[in-house]
Structure 1
Amino acid sequence: MNKKYNTKIIDLNTDGTLNTTRLSRLEEETLLQNRDIIYVYIGDKHCYIGQTKQLLKRHKQHSGSNEPNFIMSKFKKLVILYGQLVDKNLDYLEKRLITLFITDNTKHKRKIEIDNKNNGNLSNHQQDSKELDALVITPFWQDDLFELGCLNNRNVSYLKRRILAKYSPFMDLKPEQQQMITRILNEGGNFLFEGGSGTGKTVLMTNTVAQLFDKYNGEKKIGVVVKANWRQNAIRIFTDYGISKNVTVGTWGMLLNTEEKFDYIIVDEAHRLPRFYGKLHPSERKYFKGDKTKTSLELLSNITSSLILFYDRYQSIRPSDIPTYIYDEYVKQKEFKVIPLVTQFRIDIHDKQKTYTADDYIKGIRYLLQISDDDSFDKSLFTNSDPDSYFGVSNSIEELFIYLNRMDNLISDSQNRVIAGYAREWVSKTDKNCYDWIEGTNQWQWNSSHEDWMNKKNSREEIGSIHAVQGVDINCVGLIIGKDLTFRNGKVMASKENYFDKNGKPVQSEFTESEFTTFIKNIYYTLMTRGIDGIRIYIEDSHLKQYLLDTINA
């Protein structure tokens, strides 16, 4: 197959000029003066990626006094990328290469500094992004750039699965996503983006921060609220992309602790913001100063003129989370601009001869959990007998680990984990020699850490709880639905005696079975929507398992 792009490598002379002796006359006239190209300056410790139509003029600008921060002596070579699939796709290719370079340089001893970390122009590429990645980015990265010795990782698929690439603030957004961010940039005020799992809330969040930072050249104070299990990832993303000046990343309490005012506060996983509640941890409860009417929404509103929330009402999992009716009242009272998110970006179903989509899966699990009564989903998704289909039912915990081991070998550089509802006591928390999950001769412990658990060395051999994986993408999931969820009298119901998250149970004086059931259903809805490439579930309660099999006609 003929390549849809070409490359040229030009050496830099000691005085910083271009050594064009190996260029033909036509190449000089086109590539240097009148051609859409991506260019990459490469040195021993520095790299610069850009785009231009007039390379020679742009090179002189870089060398001139108007760009004092660009030091030409850092670089030895200039790589030019051009061709049919480069034309009119410059913005996308530039941003994708910057993302890959930054991701490639994380957690490696040999680093190349990426000198340009701006998020460029709004990408308006006309080509399909998957085609551009396959026909340009991947071969250019793996064949051309890697041969120059400026990369740590040759494998593009590995880098794309890394968290920096997945949530990059240079992520190429869909037009409707960019329109949402443009409203924030132009209108100001309070916004609520509401959508289910996998509708791109976190990608929108990182890009919102980046574009606000870029618009005001880092002069506006931006607070970013994330859950503790994702804080280090968020800090790493913004720091590595050069978006750190006046950007504070932390939990909601950390932002209040700064005793500062923010121009913008952006909240990821806003459904987990708490109200005053007796079982709330003292480190958070102190901010309410004993006022039982207060919520963290109100406290955050007091320190910003623009509160931007990314919210999913079906992922509220503890009684301390602000109830949906309070959320709805507050959003209406404060005149939030409410923007729905409906497109599914996480779940990627590749089943053979499929007639269904990711939306069928989301509708299906909501129906099975009796969160929704909408049964307009394609049931064949849940009965596909192919061993590598997206969904399947297993007969033991051991089978879940066997499935993930197969996926480890089948999908390169994938992150696959077994996760579960809080249906076992966490005895290994205080005694590292004890095991929380026992099945025959097999035994496993709960996640040894909540924060950044997915990247811990031993996480593949552990079982992750909701608090370790909420808001996290996993390639393939093995899910244990414990006996904290059962089926009685035609209803999916929670079982209080089989649920062991002490802070997840309502206080006795406020306990209602229906509210508690809602929390447990939301937990399993959240866990069942973590998987990108596949999920297998093991159901401990025999009544619930039979109900599920009967419902999907398995």
Structure 2
Amino acid sequence: MSLSFGLSIEVSEQYDFNKNSLSKIRQNPWVKNQWPLVYFIQNETQRIAYVGESTNAYSRIKNHLSNPNKSSVLNKISVIGSDKFNKSATLDIESNLIQYITSEGTYQLQNGNYGLINHNYYQQDLYKDLFKEIWNKLIEKKIVSKSLTEIENSELFKYSPYKALNEDQYHSVLEILSGLCVKESNRIFIKGSAGTGKTILATYLIKLLHSDISESTLEEYNDDELREINYIRSFQSKYPDAKIGLVIAMTSLRESLKNVFRKIPGLKPSMIINPSETFNLKEKYDLLIIDEAHRLRQYKNIGWMGAFKKNNQKLGLDDTGNELDWILANSKNQIFFYDSAQSVKPSDIDGNHFDRLLNDSNTLNLQLTSQMRVKGGNNYISFVDELLHTKRKTTEFFKIENYELVNFDSLNDLYTELGKRDKIHGLSRLVAGYSWAWASKNDKKAIDIEIDGLQFQWNQTERDWVNSPNAFHEVGSIHTVQGYDLNYTGVIFGREIDYDKKTGEIVVNAKMYFDKYGKNGIKTPEDLRVYIINIYKTIMYRGIKGTFIYACNEGLRNYLKNNIETFKNEIPFRILPFAEVKPYVNSVPLVDITAAAGSFSDLQIHSDFKWVELPFHITTKEGYFVCKIEGESMNKIIPNGSYCLFKKDSGGSRNGKIVLVESMNIQDADFGAGYTIKEYHSTKNIENDQWDHQAIVLKPLSYNIEYNDIELVDDEFENLKVIGIFECVL
């Protein structure tokens, strides 16, 4: 039952799909009363199916039975009906069933993808709940097995050519088809910012132009859909057995799309090609569709210059030739999907090459404007652009319904919250600017990134990293996420990017930028700044449901805090009921420094403490304990009010480590008498293999220069006790 409507959804028994069963099918109440309904025809053994909708189902089913492609293959039919169905609702449900069943993988559909469009209609949101009920009933009847969430996180769903288009995209499709078939525009540019559905439109088009329209029942379609079918017929008449390729410059995205095309009837992975493969045919391609055209390369900062040079020579070009030249030379028609703001490396073709084509009178220029990926919509896209170009004209926090945009002072907090989202929604990933060398590329044990006591490696695979098994425990870069959708993105603004309060501008530090091919050959510091800002904009556009942000540099962190609400977490962990406590197995003690007075020596007296559960990514160990740290004396590492994890001191050198120290000789502005947390340094006197301390210096690590070193000498050592070694901020 649907709580929204108070009605039942009926998925009928499975009728035999043959002429002898027509009379029985006709007695179905929804069929008999010519009510709008949806139907599902299948062959369970061969795993082939067809989804349809109609207000005159009996007539439509008779037509299907007269079609040998269906009657000779499909053998069972189910009718889905409801007393609240209307024509708009059944079109929407049919469209959703096609999208989800195609991506679910149990059945291959005979459906084409023409006419798939999201229509707005009365109470559309309520019918979304209705669709969930329908899907659950299909699971109950074992027609499908995967949940909607599981399907939505699959790459097949994200890049499916069966995606229903929005009005903006669908009208672009009609314009593109008109350009190819009527206006004879052999070069079409579709511009659109991140998330406007360029890749979806590219896969939709290549499937559409390979559609079998011979059995289309024209009376079922509206005027726009009839135009679409007629354009397809015209194109297929003009280019029988058309040679069409989808050009993807980025390796990772190319491999993902090949995986998708393997599973779609009528498509082949060989249709997905890199720019060099445009030379493979003896004749020109009839049509090349180029996704992410802004990532096409020139002869600059690439690792395969020899092969690049040979391709240029095939066309009689010198080193100024580029992949755009190859595509134009090797195809009769081109469709480019382009966004200059997503050019992120100097190897990307200079924008002036595209400008010449865009300004050519023979080029058909189209624009996508509707935001399809990010639930924050175009307002969020505009906000990110204004934020990183420091053009915001308001001091209010940016907030938008149905989208989580949160700034974090602690990467530990961010990672913990991201982990919670990953458990619920999946596809939640950390992504950073290229501010750390990729040591683990050659040394698989090396740690690349260390922040707040957390240690990460860069992505350990360059292909389809977002879906790789260990992705949540690694950090991705622009090169592994561009073109991909995530549910939540944890964005780490690295050490190479900051905010200059005096100039009011975003600034970059080239010395802290480690992308060799992304930096060499850049002519001016401003060019590098533009690339790096483009990188972070593109990363911030990946998250469908939310974006979490952490900035390494204080200036940028404060700038972000003035524009984005900052995460507040009073207690970032669960305090266990004492009955659940298994000391140092599932929990560690929480110690109050302000009332500690010797309690550190009694950590085994379990009833004297609250015991807390550590975040999922930290292994509980004997000797661990947690304290809340107040004050600004260590704010470069430990934000004021943070809960920190320590381990009991077991001796050995402490030089350079952050320590929790007890001594009655210490007067600390933050902690008062008795305790402090500082970075430990000591000098020693060594004589005759014996040593003793000459001096111990406890250094603050603060952005506030008013904090001074605490220096202990002589008899001040006697009652000094190192209680714990700092592990991380929780």
The bucket for the TM-score relative to the shorter chain is 0.7 to 0.9
Residues 148 and 539 from structure 1, CA distance in 2 versus in 1: closer, same or farther, beyond 3 angstroms? same
Residues 50 and 362 from structure 1, CA distance in 2 versus in 1: closer, same or farther, beyond 3 angstroms? closer
The worse-fitting range, judged by mean Cα deviation, of 36-45 and 210-219 is 210-219
Q: Which residue of 2 aligns with 1:225?
A: 247
| 2:491 alignment partner, SS class | strand
Distance in 1 of aligned mates of 2:497 and 2:145 = 46
Give, in angstroms, the shift of residue 475 of structure 1. Answer: 0.9
Distance in 1 of aligned mates of 2:18 and 2:383 = 65
| 1:408 alignment partner, SS class | helix
Larger radius of gyration: 2
Give the counterpart letter for 1:380 in structure 2: F
Q: How is 1:91-106 mapped onto 2 (pairs within 5 angstroms)?
A: 91-105=91-105
Q: 1:408 pairs with 406, 422, 427, which one?
A: 422
Q: Which residue of 2 aligns with 1:318?
A: 345
Distance in 2 of aligned mates of 1:90 and 1:133 = 10
TM-score normalized with structure 1 length: 0.85
Q: 1:196 pairs with 183, 186, 193, which one?
A: 193
Distance in 2 of aligned mates of 1:262 and 1:42 = 36
Q: 1:297 pairs with 287, 311, 324, which one?
A: 324
Distance in 2 of aligned mates of 1:553 and 1:436 = 29
Q: 2:373 pairs with 346, 365, 368, which one?
A: 346
Q: Which residue of 2 aligns with 1:80?
A: 80
Matched, 1:166 2:158: yes
Tell me if the contact between 2:433 and 2:492 (Cα under 8 Å) persists in the aligned partners: yes
Q: How is 1:382-393 mapped onto 2 (pairs within 5 angstroms)?
A: 390-393=404-407
Q: Which residue of 1 aligns with 2:380?
A: 361
Q: Which residue of 1 aligns with 2:121?
A: 127
Residues 378 and 529 from structure 1, CA distance in 2 versus in 1: closer, same or farther, beyond 3 angstroms? farther
Residues 8 and 250 from structure 1, CA distance in 2 versus in 1: closer, same or farther, beyond 3 angstroms? same
Give, in angstroms, the shift of residue 124 of structure 1. Answer: 7.2
The worse-fitting range, judged by mean Cα deviation, of 413-422 and 94-103 is 94-103
Distance in 2 of aligned mates of 1:128 and 1:252 = 46
| 1:380 alignment partner, SS class | coil
Give the counterpart letter for 1:9 in structure 2: S
Give, in angstroms, the shift of residue 147 of structure 1. Answer: 1.8
Give, in angstroms, the shift of residue 334 of structure 1. Answer: 6.7
Give, in angstroms, the shift of residue 492 of structure 1. Answer: 1.7
Residues 139 and 284 from structure 1, CA distance in 2 versus in 1: closer, same or farther, beyond 3 angstroms? farther
Tell me if the contact between 1:85 and 1:136 (Cα under 8 Å) persists in the aligned partners: no
Tell me if the contact between 2:168 and 2:369 (Cα under 8 Å) persists in the aligned partners: no
Give, in angstroms, the shift of residue 9 of structure 1. Answer: 2.0
Tell me if the contact between 1:400 and 1:418 (Cα under 8 Å) persists in the aligned partners: no
Residues 16 and 413 from structure 1, CA distance in 2 versus in 1: closer, same or farther, beyond 3 angstroms? farther
The worse-fitting range, judged by mean Cα deviation, of 35-44 and 5-14 is 5-14
Distance in 2 of aligned mates of 1:78 and 1:481 = 53
| 1:475 alignment partner, SS class | strand
Give, in angstroms, the shift of residue 24 of structure 1. Answer: 9.3
Q: 1:504 pairs with 518, 528, 531, which one?
A: 518
Give the counterpart letter for 1:67 in structure 2: P
Q: How is 1:458-537 mapped onto 2 (pairs within 5 angstroms)?
A: 458-488=470-500, 490=503, 491-507=505-521, 511-537=523-549
The worse-fitting range, judged by mean Cα deviation, of 462-471 and 94-103 is 94-103
| 1:337 alignment partner, SS class | strand
Residues 130 and 33 from structure 1, CA distance in 2 versus in 1: closer, same or farther, beyond 3 angstroms? closer
Matched, 1:49 2:55: no
Give, in angstroms, the shift of residue 40 of structure 1. Answer: 0.9
Matched, 1:277 2:300: yes
Give, in angstroms, the shift of residue 298 of structure 1. Answer: 1.9
Give the counterpart letter for 2:417 in structure 1: Y
Give, in angstroms, the shift of residue 229 of structure 1. Answer: 1.1
| 2:326 alignment partner, SS class | helix
| 2:210 alignment partner, SS class | helix
Q: Which residue of 1 aligns with 2:273?
A: 250
Q: Which residue of 1 aligns with 2:456?
A: 444
Deviations 1:222-271 (A, max 9, x none): 11012211123222333423241697112222233445411211111111
| 2:325 alignment partner, SS class | helix
Tell me if the contact between 1:277 and 1:292 (Cα under 8 Å) persists in the aligned partners: no
Q: 2:110 pairs with 111, 116, 138, which one?
A: 116
Give the counterpart letter for 1:44 in structure 2: E
Distance in 2 of aligned mates of 1:34 and 1:329 = 56
| 1:425 alignment partner, SS class | coil
Distance in 2 of aligned mates of 1:127 and 1:272 = 38
Q: Which residue of 2 aligns with 1:182?
A: 174
Matched, 1:329 2:352: no
Q: Which residue of 2 aligns with 1:434?
A: 446
Q: Which residue of 2 aligns with 1:352?
A: none
Distance in 2 of aligned mates of 1:202 and 1:129 = 29
Residues 444 and 87 from structure 1, CA distance in 2 versus in 1: closer, same or farther, beyond 3 angstroms? same
Tell me if the contact between 1:225 and 1:249 (Cα under 8 Å) persists in the aligned partners: yes
Q: 2:145 pairs with 152, 156, 159, which one?
A: 152
Deviations 1:293-327 (A, max 9, x none): 22221220112222111111111111111122332
Matched, 1:235 2:258: yes
Give, in angstroms, the shift of residue 343 of structure 1. Answer: 2.1
Deviations 1:157-208 (A, max 9, x none): 3323333223332222222321111111122221111121112212222222
Q: 1:136 pairs with 130, 139, 154, which one?
A: 130
Give the counterpart letter for 2:247 in structure 1: V
Say which structure is richer in strand. Answer: 2
Tell me if the contact between 1:168 and 1:207 (Cα under 8 Å) persists in the aligned partners: yes
Distance in 2 of aligned mates of 1:378 and 1:258 = 57
Structure 1 unaligned residues grouped into runs of 5+: 106-111, 350-357
Structure 2 unaligned residues grouped into runs of 5+: 181-185, 212-231, 567-730
Residues 534 and 378 from structure 1, CA distance in 2 versus in 1: closer, same or farther, beyond 3 angstroms? farther
Give the counterpart letter for 1:148 in structure 2: K
Give, in angstroms, the shift of residue 456 of structure 1. Answer: 0.6
Q: Which residue of 2 aligns with 1:9?
A: 12
Give, in angstroms, the shift of residue 478 of structure 1. Answer: 0.9
Identity, in percent, stands at 26
The worse-fitting range, judged by mean Cα deviation, of 328-337 and 169-178 is 328-337
| 1:467 alignment partner, SS class | helix
Residues 49 and 464 from structure 1, CA distance in 2 versus in 1: closer, same or farther, beyond 3 angstroms? same
Give, in angstroms, the shift of residue 337 of structure 1. Answer: 1.8
Residues 4 and 204 from structure 1, CA distance in 2 versus in 1: closer, same or farther, beyond 3 angstroms? farther
Q: How many corresponding residue pairs?
A: 524
| 1:287 alignment partner, SS class | helix
Give the counterpart letter for 1:52 in structure 2: S
Tell me if the contact between 1:5 and 1:86 (Cα under 8 Å) persists in the aligned partners: no
Structure scoring higher RCO (CA < 8 A, sep ≥ 6) equals: 1
Distance in 2 of aligned mates of 1:332 and 1:486 = 36
Distance in 2 of aligned mates of 1:368 and 1:250 = 36
| 1:18 alignment partner, SS class | helix
| 1:401 alignment partner, SS class | helix
Tell me if the contact between 2:38 and 2:51 (Cα under 8 Å) persists in the aligned partners: yes
Q: 2:203 pairs with 192, 201, 206, which one?
A: 206
Q: Which residue of 1 aligns with 2:72?
A: 71
Distance in 1 of aligned mates of 2:361 and 2:304 = 28
Distance in 2 of aligned mates of 1:132 and 1:239 = 35
Give the counterpart letter for 1:451 in structure 2: R
Distance in 1 of aligned mates of 2:543 and 2:101 = 26
| 1:213 alignment partner, SS class | coil
Q: Which residue of 2 aligns with 1:355?
A: none
RMSD: 3.0
Tell me if the contact between 1:275 and 1:296 (Cα under 8 Å) persists in the aligned partners: yes
